Homo-oligomer: A and B are copies of this chain.
Amino acid sequence: MHPTTAGEVSESTDSVIDMVSVDAPFLRACRGEPHDRVPVWFMRQAGRSLPEYKAIRGTGSIITAIRTPDLATEITLQPVRRYGTDAAILYSDIVTPIEAIGFGVDVAPGIGPVVEKPFRSASDLERIRPLDPEADTPYVLETVRNLVRELGDVPLIGFAGAPFTVASYLVEGRPSRTYENTKRLMYTDPELWFALLDRLADLALASLHSQVANGASAVQLFDSWAGALSPSDYVRYVQPASQKVLEGIASTGVPRIHFGVNTGELLTHMRDAGADVMGIDWRVDLDDARKRLGDRTPLQGNLDPTAVLAGADVAIERTRDVLRRADGHRGHIFNLGHGVLPDTDPEVLEQVVAVVHAEGKVR
């Protein structure tokens, strides 16, 4: 499939992995190599905001959609087709592996992950057995294989939740503003905390390995809520487990993107955990992030998702500002600073993509 051409997905039975060009602009930017246009994709580009998604999604839990490869494949393809993004991101959820091993998690519409019986003590560790991706998440792997076949030369990004962020859902039981139960566990029972994070690191790692083995060309580790931590807590309690995941996947050779919100203070630590590319939220200007991380770390971001809600004029003005701050650096992948908001007008995002492709220059 050619991402710049809107229209039907072409049928193909070729070996999928060979079709993905290592020269795709997205992958070259992830490696900081010369390429000819600023690549762009959006976190949460699939789903919620798209009318074509609402038309096929039906009701019921997102977990059910993830367990239905044809549906998950189509949902992943929709934004690539509409926007001509330079990468697809697997339609899945960071709780997919933990749900698959039977921990008792659901994703409640309008709320997020909710856990039936939160993680509270050492006996809960037994509820986190190792993931066997082929047996536990065959539907994910089928979706990945479908996608790689359909996407042609558009790279597919696989992903996993980082141990801290997944732990925060397991411990709090639902999205939190303070993460107080999570931090209390971390501070008062570090042995149990590290055991929990180690199991979640293994889970993320097994899932990422299986996604890459089935054709994903890059991976993103979402530590969405790590920004709740002080830098010293991050380094002490969280970085080792994230490092286990990022270093564990290094042997595959695919680019490793690392992202969280409110993580301005943590950028160097998150990079040092073993990321090739750092995702930047909108709270740090991109030129400032470049100064902090130096010239050799590719950056992904960082348009404020609310700017897209404000209509095309505002979105375009701010897109240009991001491009200006990126200053044509080879290591820049255009993205939002967090996920696409549900009320986003897809036509505005189409214009953002058009501006990035038309005006973004790579030095």
Which A residues contact B (CB, under 8 angstroms)? 178-180, 183-184, 187-188, 227-233, 262, 264-265, 282-285, 288, 304-307, 309-311, 314, 321, 341, 343
Oligomer copy total: 2
Secondary structure of the A side of the interface? helix
Query: Are B264 and A304 interface neighbours, CB within 8 A?
Result: no
Contact of A343 among B180, B187, B282, B309 (CB under 8 A): B180
Q: Chain B CB within 10 Å — which of A187, A284, A343 has the most?
A: A187
Q: In the assembled complex, which residues on chain B have CB atoms less than 8 Å from the CB atom of A233?
A: 304
Query: Are B184 and A306 interface neighbours, CB within 8 A?
Result: yes
Contact of A179 among B187, B306, B321, B343 (CB under 8 A): B306
Look across to chain B and name the residue whose beta carbon is closest to the beta carbon of A305.
B178
Q: How far is the CA of A305 from the CA of B230 in the complex (A)?
A: 12
A234 to chain B, nearest CB (A): 10
Query: Are B265 and A310 interface neighbours, CB within 8 A?
Result: no
Q: In the assembled complex, which residues on chain B have CB atoms less than 8 Å from the CB atom of A265?
A: 264, 283-284, 288
Q: In the assembled complex, which residues on chain B have CB atoms less than 8 Å from the CB atom of A321?
A: 232
Query: Are B183 and A304 interface neighbours, CB within 8 A?
Result: yes
Q: How far is the CA of A291 from the CA of B68 in the complex (A)?
A: 53
Query: Are B285 and A188 interface neighbours, CB within 8 A?
Result: no
Q: How far is the CA of A227 from the CA of B178 in the complex (A)?
A: 15
27 chain-A/chain-B pairs, Cβ below 8 angstroms: A178-B305, A178-B306, A178-B341, A179-B306, A180-B309, A180-B343, A183-B307, A183-B309, A183-B310, A184-B306, A184-B309, A187-B306, A187-B307, A188-B311, A188-B314, A227-B262, A227-B283, A228-B283, A230-B283, A230-B304, A231-B283, A231-B288, A262-B262, A262-B283, A264-B265, A265-B283, A265-B284
